[in-house]
Amino acid sequence: MADFGWVATAITAAALVVTGCKRAAVPPASPETAINADAAPAPGLKPATLPGDIRPPTKVAAKVTAPGPVEIWKEFSGERAFEEVRKQVEIGPRPAGSAELEKARTLIEDGLRRTGWEVERQTFSNETPRGPVTFVNLIGRFSPTGQSPVPRDTQRAILCSHYDTKRFSTIRFTGANDGGSSTGALIELARVLALDPALAAQVELVFFDGEEAFVQFTDPDELRVDNADGLFGSRHYASQLRKSGRARQFQFGILWDMIGDRDLTITLEPGSPPELTREILASADALGLRQHFGRYDRSILDDHYPLNRIRIPTINLIDFDYPAWHTADDTLERLSPESLQKIGAVTLHYLRKALGK
DSSP letters along 287-342, please? TT-GGGEEE-SS--BSTHHHHHHTT--EEEEE----TTTTSTT-SGGGB-HHHHHH
Calculate mean pLDDT across residues 279-291: 98
Domain-located, residue 313: yes
Calculate mean pLDDT across residues 158-164: 98
Domain-located, residue 93: yes
At residue 132, what are phi and psi to the nearest 5 degrees?
-70, 140
The confidence score (pLDDT) of residue 58 equals 84
pLDDT band per the 50, 70, 90 thresholds, residue 251: very high
Inter-axis angle of helices 78-91 and 99-113, nearest 10: 150
Give the angle 63-185-5 at the CA atoms, nearest 5°: 130
The confidence score (pLDDT) of residue 263 equals 96
Which residues make Cβ contacts (< 8 Å) with residue 32, sequence separation at least 6?
Answer: none
Q: How many domains does the chain have?
A: 1
Domain-located, residue 11: no
- Global confidence as pTM: 0.87
Q: Which of 49-53, 285-289, 296-300 has the highest mean pLDDT?
A: 285-289
Of the listed ranges 25-29, 109-113, 213-217, 353-357, the least confidently predicted one is: 25-29
242: part of which helix (H) or strand (E)?
A: helix 232-244
Calculate mean pLDDT across residues 209-220: 92
Q: How crowded is residue 297: how many other Cβ atoms within 10 Å of its Cβ?
A: 9
Domain-located, residue 24: no
| Pairwise CA distance, residues 56 & 286, whole Å | 37
CATH number at residue 126: 3.40.630.10
Calculate mean pLDDT across residues 301-323: 97
pLDDT tens by residue, 42-76: 444 444 333 458 989 986 555 554 678 999 999 99
Domain-located, residue 340: yes
Nearest to 191 by CA among 295, 105, 69, 318: 69
The CA R_g of the chain, rounded to the nearest whole Å, is 19
Domain residues for the domain of 289 are 37-355
In this structure, what is the dihedral angle of CA atoms 326, 329, 333, 334, given to the nearest 10 degrees? -50
pLDDT band per the 50, 70, 90 thresholds, residue 188: very high
Domain-located, residue 103: yes
The confidence score (pLDDT) of residue 51 equals 43
Of the listed ranges 67-71, 72-76, 148-152, 186-190, the least confidently predicted one is: 67-71
pLDDT at 6 over 70: no
| Pairwise CA distance, residues 345 & 357, whole Å | 15
DSSP at 115: T
Domain-located, residue 15: no
Residue spans of alpha helices (H) in 127-196: 182-193
Burial of 329 (0-12, 13-18, 19+ CB in 10 A): middle
The fraction of the chain above a pLDDT of 90, given in percent, is: 78
DSSP-based three-state secondary structure for 135:
strand
Domain-located, residue 317: yes
